[in-house]
Amino acid sequence: MKHTLKVTLILTALFFITQIFGLITVNKYIKVEVINGTAQIAHSGTIIGEPPEIEDKTFTFISIVIAILIGTGLLLLLIKFRLGKLWKYWFFFSVWVTLTISLNVYVTRSIALILAAILAILKVFKKNVFVHNLTEVFIYTGIAIIIIPFLNLISAVSLLIAISLYDAYAVWKSKHMIKLAEYQTKNKLFAGLYVPYKRKTEKIKGDKLPKPQKFEEPTNAILGGGDMAFPLLFSAAVLEYLILTKNIPQIGALLESFIIAITSTIALLILFVKGQRDKFYPAMPFISLGCFIGFAIVALINL
């Protein structure tokens, strides 16, 4: 097992809560209207403006992937030139915006801006583990609300495949994703779930140690932000697909999309259980497989 049982269950539970809360919020955010027997979905504007009207969303995933690559490249440059303060303020602004968008679904924009600012300040400048992980639940919902107008089912599937391939390359081949994770964890500005804990280990016996000695070693359990955001984007795209294409009532579509949250969580749990200590794994290929299994179940239900 990669982490202790307690930490594994905490990470898995937080991932699942994020997926469920995100779907509920996206479902509340979208406006469904039936015109002449055909369902239509409207996406309201956010603090960053009105979402664009896109007729063909088949290849929109390409622009999303390019944006991710540019963002990753910029962060690597900040690390190389030791511009940590810029990363801190970039991180703060991103947290503030996404929290505001997420909270604005439930409260007025002015209240959302104030609450988001308070949480962002606590997250970035006070660095409390509880606040950090609590805000993560809201942040990826905000990201989903920003991106979901650009996606349909085909582009969402393509996005999962592209990100899974990139994640595998970035962890196993180039290893730059490991470098990013270590840098963010060291600075306690990690984009994703972060659970510090102590694990029991042994010092190998030697000249000064006649027998192995057990001691507690501080370590961190992490799950990247992309590993949280992309499965949520996929299940949100499936939610809209069920409403628009299968003419399923909104509440029914929401409940069916929960299946993907469950199967992706199971896939993540299996990865944690089968994973080894001190080894980095690209989570997206495994989580994506869980998403596709969940969608297969949803498709069978609607045959």
> In 3-state terms, what secondary structure has residue 193?
strand
Whole-number pLDDT of residue 202: 61
Whole-number pLDDT of residue 209: 54
Whole-number pLDDT of residue 257: 98
Whole-number pLDDT of residue 210: 58
CA distance 20 to 267: 16
Tens digit of each residue's pLDDT, the chain (303 residues) = 889 999 999 999 999 999 999 999 999 999 999 888 889 999 999 999 999 889 899 999 999 999 999 999 998 998 888 887 888 999 999 999 999 999 999 999 999 999 999 999 999 998 889 999 999 999 999 999 999 999 999 999 999 999 999 999 999 999 999 888 888 888 778 889 999 898 776 655 555 555 555 667 778 899 999 999 999 999 999 999 999 999 999 999 999 999 999 999 999 999 999 999 888 899 999 999 999 999 999 999 998
Reported as half-sphere exposure (CB side, CA atoms, 13 A), residue 36 has a value of: 0
Whole-number pLDDT of residue 113: 97
Whole-number pLDDT of residue 281: 93
CA-closest candidate to residue 216, choices 51, 25, 4: 4
> In 3-state terms, what secondary structure has residue 181?
helix
Whole-number pLDDT of residue 61: 95
> In 3-state terms, what secondary structure has residue 202?
strand
Q: Is 226 exposed, middle or buried (0-12, 13-18, 19+ CB in 10 A)?
A: buried
Reported as half-sphere exposure (CB side, CA atoms, 13 A), residue 74 has a value of: 10
Whole-number pLDDT of residue 127: 81
CA-closest candidate to residue 197, choices 286, 266, 277, 136: 277
Whole-number pLDDT of residue 134: 94
DSSP labels for 94-155? HHHHHHHHHHTTTS-HHHHHHHHHHHHHIIIII--HHHHHHHHHHHHHHHHHHHGGG--HHH
Q: Is 41 exposed, middle or buried (0-12, 13-18, 19+ CB in 10 A)?
A: middle
E-strand ranges in the chain read: 31-35, 38-42, 192-203, 213-224
Whole-number pLDDT of residue 116: 98
CA distance 165 to 175: 13
Predicted TM-score (pTM) of the model is 0.93
How many C-beta atoms surround the C-beta of residue 151 within 10 A? 24
Q: Which two tokens stand for residue 8?
A: 């594994």
Whole-number pLDDT of residue 144: 97
Cβ-based neighbours of 292, under 8 Å, separated by 6 or more? 157, 160
Whole-number pLDDT of residue 5: 92
